[in-house]
Chain A
């Protein structure tokens, strides 16, 4: 009885592992939010957040260093690029795990 239980547990674990391996891994970044509307809102938020953070940094540096318009202007470009990088990270196909 006892060793049969052990073998059952082993087989159960093997079966669960097989099931896990067969399932395609969804991209974790879009997890649980696959409706077009949800993705659209997420993309918008990512773009705006990156831009807001970047401009805040640029504006602060400008105040601190007294280079009034230049770093703010630069930070707009960098913020746009960072937003696109965020969106790419959000939408890129999931790469196979290598833990």
Chain B
């Protein structure tokens, strides 16, 4: 009993192989499974949503259209008219993160955005893409980005390293923000849920008192839905802002 009653808040983030023997032999983890699932969900919504091609959309088609026009509005609104070119990238990033966050809230599932390897990988994809876009559009003029116009030249030895560090810290802050938000939320779930179970094990009074952490968890689910959407939005809008900087320099 003593070993079981410990609050194991981080056990939920452990990777296991999924899909039985096949998964074990190729090291296909529950994280990979959730990624495939979120891609399937997104593609199904888009495919089956747009299949009717109705002028007045049904529910699923409205969802697909809102997804499209919402991200298109975000990309064009914050990058400019050139944003259309980067729309597929922003769309993919947004929905990969959003579905990872949302599917991770389902019981027995796994939140792949709670692993810094995933979020940092995503952030590196974003930053490398942004840098490649900037280099492709502006060539070597891109490096003038590190010396803001109007800065006195004698400050250049100080400003250039600071700007380079600031630029390189983008993927780190992008990754840590998403990762920390998801981990914090899921740890709180686990702690409150375990607390409720522990109280229930402590007799009749404990069972009644256990309602309090249960209720907290219910509130927390709503809050985590907000965080899931918000963090996906922040990730996507920051991608757009970095692309804006890459396209326009400053």
A residues whose Cβ falls under 8 Å from a Cβ of B: 28-29, 31-33, 38, 41-42, 45-46, 48-50, 52-54, 57, 75, 78-79, 81-83, 85-86, 89, 99
Report B-chain residues with C-beta under 8 Å of the C-beta of A83: 169
- How distant is A8 from chain B, measured CB to nearest CB, in Å? 16
Q: Assess A78 versus B173: contact at CB under 8 Å? Given A86-B166, A99-B80.
A: no
Kindly state whether residue B207 has any CB partner on chain A within 8 Å: no
Range of interface residues on chain B? 20 to 34
Kindly state whether residue B180 has any CB partner on chain A within 8 Å: yes
State in angstroms the CA–CA spacing of A37 and B161 once bound together: 30
Q: Can you report 16 A-B residue pairs in the complex whose CB atoms are below 8 A from each other? A: A31-B233, A32-B234, A41-B180, A42-B177, A45-B177, A45-B180, A46-B169, A50-B169, A50-B173, A53-B168, A57-B168, A82-B162, A85-B166, A86-B173, A89-B166, A99-B248
- How distant is B234 from chain A, measured CB to nearest CB, in Å? 6
Give the residue of B78, B163, B237 whose beta carbon is less than 8 angstroms from that of A85.
B163
Q: Assess A32 versus B230: contact at CB under 8 Å? Given A42-B177, A49-B176, A78-B162.
A: yes
Report A-chain residues with C-beta under 8 Å of the C-beta of B180: 41, 45
- How distant is A52 from chain B, measured CB to nearest CB, in Å? 6
Kindly state whether residue B172 has any CB partner on chain A within 8 Å: yes
Q: Which residue of B lies closest to A78 (CB)?
A: B161
Q: Assess A82 versus B234: contact at CB under 8 Å? Given A42-B177, A45-B173.
A: no
Kindly state whether residue B241 has any CB partner on chain A within 8 Å: yes
Write the B63-92 contact mask toward A (1 if CB under 8 angstroms, else 0). 000000000000000101100000000000
State in angstroms the CA–CA spacing of A16 and B29 once bound together: 48
- How distant is B213 from chain A, measured CB to nearest CB, in Å? 22
Report A-chain residues with C-beta under 8 Å of the C-beta of B188: none
Q: Are A49 and B237 in contact (CB under 8 A)?
A: no
Q: Which residue of B lies closest to A48 (CB)?
A: B176
Report A-chain residues with C-beta under 8 Å of the C-beta of B172: 49, 52-53
State in angstroms the CA–CA spacing of A89 and B241 once bound together: 12
Q: Are B241 and A28 in contact (CB under 8 A)?
A: yes
Q: Are A28 and B166 in contact (CB under 8 A)?
A: no
Q: Are A57 and B165 in contact (CB under 8 A)?
A: yes
Q: Which residue of B lies closest to A85 (CB)?
A: B166
Report A-chain residues with C-beta under 8 Å of the C-beta of B166: 50, 82, 85-86, 89
Q: Are B230 and A46 in contact (CB under 8 A)?
A: no
